[in-house]
Amino acid sequence: MMLTDYSRIVVAYDHSELSKKALKMAMNLAKQDNIIQLYVVTVMQPIRPLPYSTYGYALAINRESQDKEFQAIRDEIELELKELPNKSKIVLLEGLPGQMIVEFVKEYDGDLVVMGSRGLSGLKELFLGSVSHFVVQKAPCPVFIVK
């Protein structure tokens, strides 16, 4: 099995410690061969309008703070990727994380996903969180789970 069979690596990044570890792991894989490209994908949950309200203003504030949050995550990823000579791309998607990650992998022909076993929620009873569980089941390619 050649590492270059995995030339389009998708990293699922939610800013959790394990997703940071997953990014480092994927970067180490990528450093083995210049042909490997990295896609670092972060999925934002859509902001749902609250019922019975004139919440346009509140929504605008939410949208703004979400944009700021993503900008901070993006800066953090960019800083990390700076030392990588390979081609890489930071991608923001909106929707259900598991579904969006799988759709992205299909659309962009990803051939390996690297992600954490758990993410931000921090509940430790289960080995896999709901997002990693979903992606392992539905991804069309191998999934590398960092723990």
Ligand X SMILES: Nc1ncnc2c1ncn2[C@@H]1O[C@H](COP(=O)(O)OP(=O)(O)OP(=O)(O)O)[C@@H](O)[C@H]1O
* Residues 27-86 interacting with Mg ion (rule: CB under 5 A): none
CB of 120 vs ligand X, minimal distance in Å? 5
CB of 92 vs ligand X, minimal distance in Å? 9
**Which residues lie near ligand X (CB under 6 A)?**
12-14, 16, 18-19, 22, 41-43, 97, 115-116, 118-121, 129-132
- End-to-end C-alpha distance for the chain, whole angstroms: 23
If one asks whether residue 119 binds Mg ion (CB under 5 A), the answer comes out as yes
- Binding test (CB under 5 A) with Mg ion, winner from 121, 127, 137, 147: 121
**Hey, how many other C-beta atoms are within 10 angstroms of the C-beta on 87?**
13
Closest by Cα among 108, 137, 142, 117 to 22: 117
Taking the CA atoms of residue 9, residue 15, residue 16 and residue 17 in that order, the dihedral angle to the nearest 10 degrees is 80
CB of 65 vs Mg ion, minimal distance in Å? 19
* 143 SS3 class: strand
Question: What are the residues binding Mg ion (CB under 5 A)?
Answer: 119-121, 129
